[in-house]
Amino acid sequence: MTDDGNRMIDEGAPVIPGEPEGFAGGVLEPYEVFRQEKDGDPMRHGGNLLAPDLELALHYAREMYSRRGESVRLWVVRRADIGVLDDLDLLQPPLDRSFKKPGGYVMRDKLAAARGRAGTSKPGARAASHGTSPRPTEPGSER
C-alpha cells in the first residue's frame, strides 16, 4: 500500500498516536539500546525502544537511559541490523583445544602431588626424612 507521496507503508507496523492513518513517518521500528555506566565498564544491554528513525531513537535513548547521568556512552542499534548466529555446529570449535584453557593442564595439582611424594609442603623446602643438609660452601666458590 502507498500513501500520497508514493512511499511504501507497512500495514502491520504500529503507528505514532496523533498521526493520520497511512502516514509513512509513523511506522515505528524496534531499536536495542546498550549502555556503559562508566569509562572502562563493558557495554550492557539496557533495553529497547520504538522509534520511526535512528535520529529519534538516539534522542529517546538519551532521555530514557542517560537523563540522570547514569550512562557515559550509549549504543543504539536497529534490531533488524543485529546478526544472530545460533547454529551449534558453527559455534563449537572444530578441534578439541582444552589444553589451551587455564584449567586444561593443571600444573598446581601435579606439583602438590610431587611435593607430597617428596615429603615437603612448600616449594624449595627440603625433606628432613632424606637426611640431606645444605652443602658446605668452599671458599672462592661463592657466586
Q: How many domains does the chain have?
A: 1
The answer as to whether 76 is a domain residue is yes
pTM of full prediction above 0.75: no
Q: Which domain holds residue 52?
A: 24-81
How far is the C-alpha of 8 from the C-alpha of 21, rounded, in Å? 13
In tens digits, the chain (143 residues) has pLDDT values of 444 444 444 455 555 555 544 445 569 999 999 999 999 999 999 999 999 999 999 999 999 998 888 899 999 999 999 998 888 888 887 777 766 777 655 777 888 888 888 887 766 666 555 555 555 556 665 55
Would 137 be classed as within a structural domain? no
CATH label of the domain that carries residue 29? 3.10.20.520
d(CA 23, CA 52): 11
Q: Is residue 55 part of a domain?
A: yes
3-state secondary structure 50-73: EECCHHHHHHHHHHHHCCCCCCCE
Residue 98 covered by a domain = no
In a domain, 41, yes or no: yes
Instruction: Answer yes or no: is 52 within a domain.
Output: yes
